[in-house]
Structure 1
Amino acid sequence: MKPRGPQHGQAMVEFLIIIPVLILLIFGAVQAALIYSAKNGLNYATFQAARIASMNSAQYTDIRRGLLRGMYPMFSQFPENERMERTATEVDNFVLVTRISPSTAMFAAYGEDHGDLFGDGEERKAIPNSSLMYSQDDDAGLPLQDANLLKIRVQYCMRLIVPMVDRLLSSGSRFVDRARATKESASFRDVSRATSSNYEAVCRSRSGFVISSEATVRMQSPAVDDEDQCASGGRMICP
């Protein structure tokens, strides 16, 4: 039986149809691998930040120092003499820290006057972390043991470098943020949320993808409630 018509060029048409999808899948796999690597690096950096801050009164300056130390290997593609500067730029502009615990309510319940702790002439309140087994819990139901746990959430807006995929993922990150914002009680300051949101607060002017990590360690020093480090517009939120 003779064919109904010429079949020349059929394979080329099928190839042209499938090649954009194939390229997008390949690019997507590459970007997914980069995101996975960045997430692992952020997990390590978040733990370093919490560990250092637990020994230094839970201050943002020490959280930042831990993030710099932990995120430094994430920028190994830059020359060694520029790597730390690049890391500091990322931390200072595209990282947002939320101090989940101790919360403002815990400082109000257990904060005690500890005088001039930092030698700057200002008296501050701190949560004691010695002789805890003999201390009484607050009437409001906030255990002192929990107030001595430092829990932080670190959100990082990583730059997307793979063509086509970068626009899709950055748009998706914005969409998730807008979708959550429409839900009742879905606020960026709601500490019960485990993943990142408020895209603009983290990324600012960057079109990126927000990754998030949390770490919890026990305080090794009295936690100090320094209002300046949680000021409006800063890179740390204290619910």
Structure 2
Amino acid sequence: MIRHPTNRSQRGQGLVEAVIVIPVFGVLLLGIFQGVLLYRAKATLDYAALMAARSGATHFAQPGPMLDGLARGLMPLYSHQTGGTTLIAAYAKAKADLQLAQAASIHIASPTRAAFNDFQQPEFDGVKAIPNDSLPFRGSHIGPQSHLTVQDANLLKIRVTYQYPLIVPIIDRLIGHLDLARTAAAGHKVYSLGIQAQATVYMQTPIRDPKLLPTGTGTGGNGNAGGGNNKPGAPQGSGNTAPPPAPPPSGSGGSTPPTGCTPSAGICCIT
């Protein structure tokens, strides 16, 4: 009788497969769990950035009120319960984390110092500021340095970067960086991952301190780097430069139309 050693040679096959598959699927499941937490943190940060921008819009774009608004928006990440004392504790934790651990930074993207130089006017107390009142009646003059209108210069655009602490083991070391400030405060290694959010609101108060604004030129209201009045088809960065007049039609005797005329359209604007 011939014996086949098939069953004997396959002993331990399931153990070998488990040793290979379990670590892979374990890391995958941990990554999915951390991804869900990151999605929640990003949604919370989007709301917190809007709160920070609104606080800055009503407080002359000062960093202190914007930091307070950011802390209020991030409270859901520091508390899992509701109630008066719980909310107060969550706000205190968020504010301490932002200030002591430097867990977030707020960068003003627009307006810039160039916009301040273009539109600054003395206020009632003599302090120069970007005017914020009667904007619909101030015209659409393009600033020579910022390439913005005064209406665009009153748009507060901020970018918030938040160092989100990772809590899922293994994944935190794979995608995060060692957060030295939080590590010193917690007494154990804490890994964080930077996430960003942006917000844009209209200023409700005039911007009075140009030191708070970044250097460089601004961006027009339609997103073109050359200014807010670029027409479709015009070269980028042309600002308000008018296109060259069209050549006279054939048979016109070589007469040159006045400046600003468009013979093909039959329209002539004389200034």
TM-score bucket (shorter structure): 0.7 to 0.9
One-letter identity of the residue aligned with 1:19? I
Contact 1:24–1:164 under 8 Å retained in 2: yes
Equivalences for 1:121-200 in 2 at 5 Å?
124-132=127-135, 133-135=137-139, 136-140=141-145, 141-170=147-176
Q: Deviations over 1:156-201 (max 9, x none)?
A: 0011111100011115xx9xxxxxxxxxxxxxxxxxxxxxxxx99x
Aligned length: 198
Partner residue in 2 for 1:61? 64
2:18 maps to 1:15: yes
In 2, the alpha carbon distance for the partners of 1:158 and 1:88 equals 14
Larger Rg: 2
Contact 1:149–1:216 under 8 Å retained in 2: yes
**Unpaired segments of 5 or more residues in structure 2?**
185-189, 216-271
Partner residue in 2 for 1:72? 75
Shift of residue 124, structure 1, vs aligned partner: 4.1
2:42 maps to 1:39: yes
Partner residue in 2 for 1:25? 28
Partner residue in 2 for 1:210? 194
In 2, the alpha carbon distance for the partners of 1:20 and 1:97 equals 39
In 1, the alpha carbon distance for the partners of 2:109 and 2:33 equals 33
Provide closer, same or farther for how the CA distance between residues 89 and 226 of structure 1 changes in structure 2, counting only shifts above 3 A. Answer: farther
Q: 1:82 aligns with which of 76, 89, 93?
A: 89
TM-score, normalised via structure 1 length: 0.73
Provide closer, same or farther for how the CA distance between residues 82 and 134 of structure 1 changes in structure 2, counting only shifts above 3 A. Answer: closer
1:128 partner SS: coil
Q: 1:100 aligns with which of 74, 88, 109?
A: 109
Contact 1:157–1:210 under 8 Å retained in 2: yes
Q: 1:238 aligns with which of 211, 214, 217?
A: 214
In 2, the alpha carbon distance for the partners of 1:65 and 1:238 equals 21
Q: Sequence identity of aligned pairs in percent?
A: 35
Shift of residue 26, structure 1, vs aligned partner: 1.0
Contact 1:59–1:226 under 8 Å retained in 2: no
TM-score, normalised via structure 2 length: 0.65
Contact 2:116–2:210 under 8 Å retained in 1: no
